[in-house]
Amino acid sequence: MTTRLAALRAEYLAGLSAYLERESEAGFAHAYELGRQAMADGMGLLDMVAAHRAALDTLVLPCPPAEHPRLLEASTAFFNELLAPFELSINGYRAALAASEERFELAISGAMAGLWDWNPQTDEMYFSPLFKRIMGYSDNELPNERQAHLNAIDPRDFEQAAQSLESHLTHRRVFDVEYRIRTKLGELRWVQCRGQALWDEAGVPYRMVGWILDITDRKRDEEALRASREELRRLSAHVQQVREEEKARIARELHDDLGQQLTALKMATSILEYPADGEKRWPPPDALSGIYGMIDELVRSVRHIAADLHPVILDDLGLLPAIESLIDEFSARYRIRVIRRIEAGTIDFNRECRIEMFRMVQEALTNVARHSGASEVVLEMLREDPHCIVRVVDNGHGALHDGSKGRHSFGLLGMRERATLLGGEIRIVTQPGAGFSLTAILPLASIEMKKAR
């Protein structure tokens, strides 16, 4: 027995003995003081019980049995008073624990997390009501069994989640996983699951506590962001490619078209080098008219190439005449009838929007020629305050979807880009066999000239 314990027993014996003699208030107060001191010295409740028991043996047993009830009652009162400091401290500890648990619950529920508490030895598991709600169940619908949650984990993510848990339990690595679950109604949701195990001295986990968080929205945003980055990347790669193709086409036209014509012109003019023989007119008139014809052809070619690069008519005459001339050329080239309903004369198109709108109509018509097999197109440009509506509808064989999912449909993607640039949007309605209808809805506010105030 340690000296401290022996001293406690001796003090207790003396204190109780004095109290049994007089049962005074001071003696009673001494019990409380003894208890407080014992607790401060690190004594436990069992030590106190042992001291009490030893004191009873010494003080009560030898007395006549008739006195026993009084002595025992007084001793019990004394002992209870001795225990008061212990009880107070246990109550305080309980209150502190309750407050801390409450804070934890609050913090967790503020984060909308569902709690779980698992006993790895019995496999019992507690799910909080919010946990069950995240899984799509009400509180009494989902049994408190681990399997109930395991069953809901998407097979694609199961292995990874299981491995992460295993590595936490055996190597104490951080347990923080994201996986998909099927809710009660079969909907797929993303959750983040974190937890912390507790291990006994032998290193065996005996409890693990954690929470899950519904991160479906975050995952959806991430996915949308990823998709839009990917789309942008493809668009910019495509822009590069188109530029290269454009340069190659111009080089080819310059070489084939202008180059050949210039060679022919050079040959035709070489005749002028021969001296006049004095009999015929010099230079020969048909040689000259041939040369003039070639020069005219050259001028036409240069105009054609330039117009393809940038429709000058757009700057000179404006959007509507440029579109009219585009339609004329389109009809003539592809033999597709175009019915026009252009009622946008009151719109004062600003400079920036002209090329964008022109290219949209150009791409839409090119698509009709390339993909639709249509015999007729209706092209509308209408003022419908506060918008300008541009619609190209063909009677061709349509398409399965609106082209937004096509990996290589950069024409429509580019059109959407242009529409977005102008603060508007593109809507497509099509079905196999039912034609293709493309509508650009553009706010007048961004396509009209700013009115001088």
Ligand X SMILES: Nc1ncnc2c1ncn2[C@@H]1O[C@H](COP(=O)(O)OP(=O)(O)O)[C@@H](O)[C@H]1O
Which of Mg ion, ligand X, none interacts with 396 (beta carbon under 5 to 8 A by kind)? Answer: ligand X
CB of 400 to Mg ion, least distance (A): 16
CB of 349 to ligand X, least distance (A): 24
Peptide bond into 85 cis (omega under 30): no
CB of 401 to ligand X, least distance (A): 8
In sequence order, what are the residues at sequence separation of 6 or more whose Cβ sits closer than 8 angstroms to the Cβ of residue 32?
81, 82, 84, 85
In sequence order, what are the residues at sequence separation of 6 or more whose Cβ sits closer than 8 angstroms to the Cβ of residue 343?
380, 381, 382, 383
Which of ligand X, Mg ion, none interacts with 362 (beta carbon under 5 to 8 A by kind)? Answer: none
Nearer to ligand X among residue 71 and residue 235 (C-beta)? 235
CA distances from 100 to 17, 70, 75, 105 (A): 43, 45, 38, 9
Nearer to Mg ion among residue 144 and residue 366 (C-beta)? 366
CB-based burial of residue 193 (10 Å sphere; 0-12 exposed, 13-18 middle, 19+ buried)?
buried
Which of Mg ion, ligand X, none interacts with 371 (beta carbon under 5 to 8 A by kind)? Answer: ligand X
Binding residues for ligand X (CB under 6 A):
367-368, 370-372, 394, 396, 398-399, 403, 406, 409-412, 436
Site string for Mg ion, 354-393 (x = CB under 5 A): -------------x--------------------------
Q: Quick count: other Cβ atoms within 10 Å of Cβ 108?
A: 16
Angle between helices 3-22 and 45-59 (to 10 degrees): 50
Nearer to Mg ion among residue 195 and residue 411 (C-beta)? 411
CA angle at 403 for the pair 398 and 404, rounded to the nearest 5°: 155
196 within 8 A of 209, measured Cβ to Cβ: yes
CB of 414 to Mg ion, least distance (A): 8
Tokens (6 digits) for 33: 């003081």
Which of ligand X, Mg ion, none interacts with 173 (beta carbon under 5 to 8 A by kind)? Answer: none
Which amino acid, residue 35?
G
Which of Mg ion, ligand X, none interacts with 114 (beta carbon under 5 to 8 A by kind)? Answer: none
Phi and psi (nearest 5°) for 440? -105, 125
Which of Mg ion, ligand X, none interacts with 184 (beta carbon under 5 to 8 A by kind)? Answer: none
Nearer to ligand X among residue 235 and residue 291 (C-beta)? 235
- Collapsing DSSP to helix, strand or coil, 388 comes out as strand
CB of 128 to ligand X, least distance (A): 50
CB of 397 to ligand X, least distance (A): 6
Nearer to ligand X among residue 88 and residue 421 (C-beta)? 421
User: What residues from 404 to 423 belong to the interface with Mg ion (CB under 5 A)?
Assistant: 411
Length of the chain in terms of residues written: 453
Does 403 participate in binding Mg ion (rule CB under 5 A)? no
Residues that bind Mg ion (CB under 5 A): 367, 411
